[in-house]
Amino acid sequence: VPDELLLEIVDLLDTDSLRRLSQVSQQLQRVASHCYLVSVGFRPPIAGWLDVNEVVCNALPIRRKLGAMCAFFDSLKDTQAVCQVHLHLYIDPMGMSPIFGSLLESILGSGCTELHASSHSASGGLIHIPRMTQLFPSTLTSLNISSPMFFFPHSIQFTLSVLQSAPLAILQLNNTGLSPLQWAVLLGKVNLPSLVELEVDQTCPYDALATCLIAHRAISKLTISHCGFPTMSVEDITPRSVLHSLRKLAGPTTRILPLLKVITLPSDFQCLYITFHPYHPERN
C-alpha cells in the first residue's frame, strides 16, 4: 500500500487507533507514529532539525560539514559579515577534528563581532595552555564561551588570540573545565583594555580573578556564576586595590566574600547582587 494512501487513512483515525496501528509493523509505525504523537499533544522532532528559542530550524551536522562552514565564513571576508554567530556543539572531545580550530579562525576572519558557543562536554582532561600564542586579526567585541572545547589543542590558539588581541568589551567564560592553576595561567595572559563586562564561573580562584581585575580597571560589571564548584586560591595577594570603575558585582557568597578581602569597592559602587545555592535538605 503506498504511503500516501496510508497517510490519508491515519488522518481519519482516533488516538487509540493510531496507537494500536503504530504497534503493528515498522511501516505503519513510521506512518502512524507522527500523527499519534501530535494527537496526544507532543511536537515530534523533524529529522535533522532542532528547536531553538521555540522556532524550528535546520541543525547542521557539524561533523560532516566543518569544511563547508569554513568555506562559507571565508567567503564573507570581503562582503557583509555575519555579526552574531551562535554555536552549540554536540561533539565528542576525543573525536574533535583539527578543522574545528580552522572554523573558529574563519569565523574570526569573517568580521564577526559577537560569538556565543556552548557544548554538553564537561571534560577538561585535554586542556593545555601553551606559552606562545599566534595572534589573529579580530573584530570581536563580545565573546561568550560555555565549553571546555575552546581550551583543547585544536582551538586553544584561537581562544588565546581573542583574549590577547580582540577589542572585547564583554567576556563570559563558563564551564571551561579549567583547574585553579590553569585559570591563573589563562587570566595572566588576558590583555583586553576595552573590557567592561566580565563573567567567570566559580571554579575561577578569587586571587587570580582579583589580579585580572586590577590589570583591567575599565571593568564596570563582574559576575561570578554558579557553574562548577568553588576552588581554593593559588597565589597570595596582599595589596587591596580600589577598582574605581566597578559598579556592579554579582555572584555567590562563597566567591564574593573572599574576593572582597583582596579588592576594595569604589565609593560610587552601585549594585551588589548575592546569589545562594538551592537548599537540598535531603543531602544533609
Q: How many residues does the chain have?
A: 284
Residue-by-residue DSSP string for 235-272: S-----EE-TT--EEEEEHHHHHHHHTTEE--TT--EE
How many Cα atoms occupy the beta-carbon half-sphere of 86 within 13 Å?
A: 3
- Coil, strand or helix at 71: helix
Domains and CATH numbers, the chain: 1-44 (no CATH), 50-283 (3.80.10)
d(CA 81, CA 191): 25
Q: Which residues contact 45 (CB under 8 A, 6 or more apart)?
A: 51
Q: Which three cell numbers stand for residue 109?
A: 576572519
Q: Average pLDDT by consecutive 10-residue portion of the chain (284 residues)? A: 71 83 75 74 56 49 66 77 82 68 88 88 65 81 93 89 95 92 93 97 91 94 85 61 93 89 91 75 45
Single out the residue of 277, 228, 229 nearest to residue 253, CA to CA. 277
Single out the residue of 183, 172, 189 nearest to residue 235, CA to CA. 183
**What φ, ψ does residue 75 adopt, rounded to 5°?**
-70, -15
